[in-house]
Amino acid sequence: MNEPIVRTAPATINAADFFERARSRLRFDVPPALHNQDIVPTSGDAGTDRMLEIVAREQPIRAAAVLIPVVAHPEPTVLLTLRASHLSDHAGQIAFPGGKIDPADASPRDAALREAWEEVGLDRNFIDPIGYLDVYGTAFGFRILPTLARVSPGFALNLSRDEVDDAFEVPLAFLMNPLNHQLHSKEFRGMERFYYAMPYGGYYIWGATAGILRLLYERIFLP
């Protein structure tokens, strides 16, 4: 199945309106599903959720945090990374800055900010965290808590080549338009699982990154 989900959406997004809506809907209450191993987080896809239930029986689901950095241009953009091609996990995939939550991190938000600094050199002075989305589960055994943040323009990046090959911006209006939310499928462990994909230019945004962007759309733009 490779059909987009069709709903109306604005052709452009005003930065002030977007951040106002986000602040009215998001908080920094940590969802229990982030750390409670008795709660299996969901992804929004029944097939992936079944796989995550299987993974949860085999090993603990690891807690991770990512930053959704929305750059406050008049027409805002989302800063994304291209993971290094030599990595053992998810090499060459499009991702948000983020990673596993360390014991020294004061909160998932701090973990996301730390990872953004370590991966791409995004200075905290440019970042205004807004709130958490829901925990997003992956079939590879991660429970991810995304932090949405407003990023002031004018920052300079310093990529860690051990982790990131590139960083780039995609218009938020493109990512928040459900006409661009393609639904693809593939077999995983003998089951068909569906996942979102949002191809943009030469970049193939898919999997957990596209799923989290879909989650952002649902939290901010749907009633």
pLDDT at 194: 79
Q: Using pLDDT thresholds of 50, 70 and 90, give the confidence band for residue 189.
A: low
Q: Using pLDDT thresholds of 50, 70 and 90, give the confidence band for residue 8.
A: very low
Q: What is the C-alpha separation between 151 and 123, in angstroms, rounded?
A: 10
Nearest 5°: the CA angle 116, 154, 72 is: 80
* Measured torsion, CA atoms of residues 119, 112, 131, 193, in degrees rounded to the nearest 10: 90
pLDDT at 45: 64
Summarised one tens digit per residue, pLDDT across range 74-96 is: 999 999 999 886 554 555 689 99
pLDDT at 142: 82
Q: Catalogue all structural domains in the chain, each as residue range(s) with its CATH number.
A: 15-221 (3.90.79.10)
Mean residue pLDDT across the chain: 86
Average pLDDT of the segment spanning 32-53:
74
Higher pLDDT, 3 or 122: 122
pLDDT at 5: 37
pLDDT at 4: 37
* Measured torsion, CA atoms of residues 97, 99, 102, 105, in degrees rounded to the nearest 10: 20
Q: What is the pTM of this model?
A: 0.88
pLDDT of residue 187 exceeding 90, the answer is no
Half-sphere exposure for 72 (CA within 13 Å, toward CB): 17
- Look at 9-18, 25-34, 187-196 and tell me which has the smallest mean pLDDT: 187-196
Summarised one tens digit per residue, pLDDT across range 135-174 is: 998 866 788 999 999 999 999 999 998 889 999 999 999 9
pLDDT at 7: 44
Q: 142-151 and 62-71 as β-strands: parallel, antiparallel, unpaired?
A: parallel
pLDDT of residue 43 exceeding 90, the answer is no
